Structure 1
Amino acid sequence: MPVVDAVLSAFSTLVHPLQLLVAWLLAGFHHLGAAAGLDPAGGPAWALAIVGLVVVVRLALVPLVVVQVRALRGVQAIQPELRRLRDRYVGRTDAASRQALQREQAELMRTSGANPLLGCLPALVQAPVLFALFATVQGLSRHEPVGALTGALVRQADAATVLGAPLSGVLWGSGHGPTIAVTAAMIVLMGLTQLVTQRITATRNTSPASLEGNPLARQQQTVLLWVLPVLVAVPGLHVPVGVLLYWLTSTVWSLGQQLVVLRVLPNPGSAADRARTERLARRAARG
C-alpha cells in the first residue's frame, strides 16, 4: 500500500540517527567481546553486543521508570476518590453532568499528580530503538553497512548464528529447522516472562482499595495477565532472531526491575508494601 510504505519510509528517516547510535553500540560491544577472546565472527560475540545494547537502553530508561512507577502509584492511590466521584454522578447522563464529571476527574488527577499516560513512557521511548534495531538486523542479509557497522562487520554479523539460527532469520516461512526452534523458544520464553511479571504485579503490587468495587480495573488486570503475552508473541513470528534476542533480554530485565520495584517503591496498601513495612520494622528492631 503506497500510504503505508510512505509512512514507514518517513519513520525510517526519522529514526536513522537512532539507527546510527544502535550500530555504534553494537559495534562497540562486539569489539569488547572480541577483545575478551570471543570469536569476532561467532554468534556469542554478536549476542553479547545485543545484550549490551539492552543494558545501555534500559539503564538510560531508569529515570523514566521511576517517573512511571510514581505515576502509577498516584493513579492507584486516588482510585477510591475517583470511585466516590463517579458514584455522585450515577444516573446523571445529561451533557452538563458528564462535562462536570470530566472536569472534576481532571482536577483530581492534576492536584494529586497522578497521570496514567506517564506509565507508557518507557515503552514509547524504547519503541524507536526496537525499530532501529529491526532495520539494522534486517539489513544484515542485504549486507547494508550502517554507521559504525562497516561492510566487513555486517558480513560477519550476517554469517553469525545463535544456536544455529542466523541473526537475520525469522520464524514465519523460514523452513530452517534451527531458526524455527530458536525463535519459537524465545517467543515462548518471552510470553512466560511477561506472564510472570504481570502475575507478580497483580498479586504483590496492587492495592485492594484500588480494585474494590471497580470491575473495570479487575478486567484490565485479567487482560494484562493473559492477553498481553499473546500480543507480544504474535509479532515475534515476523521478527529477526537478533531483534527477538533484544526483546527477550529486555523482557527478562523488566521482570528483574519489577522485583526491585516491589522492594523499593511498592504501591501503598499492596502486599509488597506490607512486606516492606515489616522488613523495615525488623531492621529497626535489630538496630
Structure 2
Amino acid sequence: MDTILWPLMVAVAWVMVSIHRFLVFIGLPGGPGIAWVLSIIGLTMFVRLLIMPLFVRQIRASRGIQLMQPELQALQNKYKGKKDPVSQQRHQEEMMALYRKHNTNPFASCLPIVFQMPVFFALFRVLANLEAVATETYANHASIGPLTAELAKDVQASTVFGAPLSSSFMSSDDGTVKAVTAAMIALMCITQWYTMAQLSMKNMPESAKSADNPAMRTQRMMMVVMPLVFAFTGVQFQIGVLVYWVTTNLWTMGQQFFTIRKMPVPGSEAEKKMRARENAKRARKGLPSLEEEERAKAEAEGTATSGQRAQPVRKDRQKKRPQKTSATASADTSASEDAESETNDAQERTNAVGLTPEEIARRRYERRARARKQAAAKRKGQAGKNKKNNRRKPH
C-alpha cells in the first residue's frame, strides 16, 4: 500500500512539516508538543480549502436532487410494477432526462469524501510508519519527504490529552490512550451523524420527507450505518487520524450551517426560518414582508395582463393604419409575454403533483423572472432594429 500511496504520503508530510515550521516561526515551541497537533488540523483545513469547488458542486447537486423528488416519485409510480426490458429502459432514460433538467448528478454529492479518502489513508500510513522512520528502519526510504528521523521522533512524542499521536485503541494497553481514543471515536460518530441529519431534517422539502421516497429511506439508513462503520473501524485509527477526521466533520458542519442558513432549499424548514428572519428585519425597517411584496408583484403582473381586447381590423384598413411605435410594440410584446406566463401558470398548477405551495410559488417566480429577462432582451433588440431602419429612411 505504501508504494501506491507514496506520492500522497510525501505530500501529506510536506504540508504537515511546512505548517509546523510556520507555527514555530510565529512563536509556538518546537520539538514535541501542540504544534504537531495543530499541523494535522492545518492539514485538514488545507485539504478542505482545496476541495471547496467540489463542496459547491455537492451542495448544488444535493439541492437539485431534493427539488426533483416529487417528479422522481411520480416517475417511479408511473413505472411501478413494470419489469419488462422496454419499460426499464424508458424508466432509465426519463430518469436521466430528469437529472439533466435539474442540472444535477447523484454522484456529485460523493465527490468531497471520495477526494478525501486517499489523503486520509496517506496520513494513516505516515503516522503508522513514524517509529520505523524515527529508528531509521523504514524500508527503501530514509525519510518520508521532509519528515526526517528527528522530526518523526518529535511527532511520535507529541500527545493529545496524554495520548501519543501515533497510538491507537488496539495498539496500546495504556488506559489514557484507550479513554482518549474512545472519546474521539464517539465525537467523530456524533459529528458524522449530525452532518448528515441536518441536511434531511432542516434542508429538505416536506414533500420529499415521505416514507415512500427511496432517497429519504436511503438517507435515513446512511445516518445510522455510517456512524456505526466509523465506530467499529475507528479502533484501528491513530489519534492523529482521529484528529483529522473530527476536524473535517466540524468543518463540514460549519459549511452546511452557513449554506442552509443563507441558501435553503425552497419549501424546507430552513427556508421558513430564513424568511421569518428576513421579515423581522423588514418589519424593523418599516418595509412590507416578503409574502406581501410577492403578492403585490403578482397582482401587478396580473393587472398588466388584463386589458381591453384588441378588435380585428380589415386588410384594407390595416394598410392605412400607422405603423406602431417601438414603445407600443414593446408594450404589446410585454402583454403577450405576461399572457403566456399566465397560461404557463395554469399548466404548472396542473402538473405540480406533490409540490408544496412554497415550491410552486418559488418556481413560478423564477420562471417569470426568466421570462421578463427574455422580454427585455427582445425589446432591446427590436429597439435597435427600429433605430437602424429610421436611419435608412430618406429625410
TM-score with structure 1 setting the length = 0.90
Whether the 8 Å contact between 1:73 and 1:268 is mirrored in structure 2 is no
Aligned to 2:71: 81
Superposition deviation, residue 139 in structure 1: 1.0
Partner of 2:178: 180
Q: Bigger shift: 77-86 or 117-126?
A: 77-86
* Separation in structure 1 between the aligned mates of residue 183 and residue 80 of structure 2, nearest angstrom: 49
Write the distance in 2 (CA, Å) between the matches of 1:94 and 1:196.
41
Q: Distance in 1 between matches of 2:145 and 2:45?
A: 21
Aligned residue among 256, 261, 264 for 2:262:
264
Q: Which residue type is aligned with residue 106 of structure 1?
A: M
SS in 2 for 1:222: helix
Q: Structure 2 regions of 5+ residues with no counterpart?
A: 288-395
1:153 equivalent among 143, 151, 154 = 151
The structure with the larger Rg is 2
Deviation string 1:32-59 (CA, Å, 9 cap, x unpaired) is: 2223333322331110100111111111
Aligned residue in 2 for 1:280: 278
Which consecutive residues of structure 1, in runs of 5 or more, have no partner in the other structure? Answer: 1-8
Within the candidate set 16, 27, 41, 2:31 is matched to 41
What CA distance in whole angstroms lies between the structure 2 residues aligned with 1:164 and 1:61?
32
Secondary structure at 1:142's aligned position in 2?
helix
For 2:170 and 2:44, the matched residues in 1 are separated by: 24
DSSP 3-state at the match of 2:204? coil
Q: Does 1 or 2 have the higher relative contact order (CA < 8 Å, sep 6+)?
A: 1
Total equivalences in the alignment? 277
- Shift of residue 284 of structure 1? 4.7
Q: How does 1:54-133 map to 2 (within 5 A)?
A: 54-133=44-123
RMSD: 1.8
Shift of 1:70: 0.3
Normalized against structure 2, the TM-score is what?
0.66
User: Whole-Å Cα distance in 1 between the matches of residues 23 and 197 of structure 2?
Assistant: 36
In 2, distance between residues paired with 1:173 and 1:246? 19
Separation in 2 of the partners of 1:74 and 1:172? 43
Q: Deviations over 1:6-50 (max 9, x none)?
A: xxx3xx434322222211110011112223333322331110100
Paired position in structure 1 for 2:196 = 198
Q: SS of 2:131's equivalent?
A: coil
What is the percentage of aligned positions where both structures have the same residue?
Answer: 38
Counterpart mapping for 1:186-265 below 5 A: 186-212=184-210, 214-265=212-263
Amino acid at match of 2:86: A
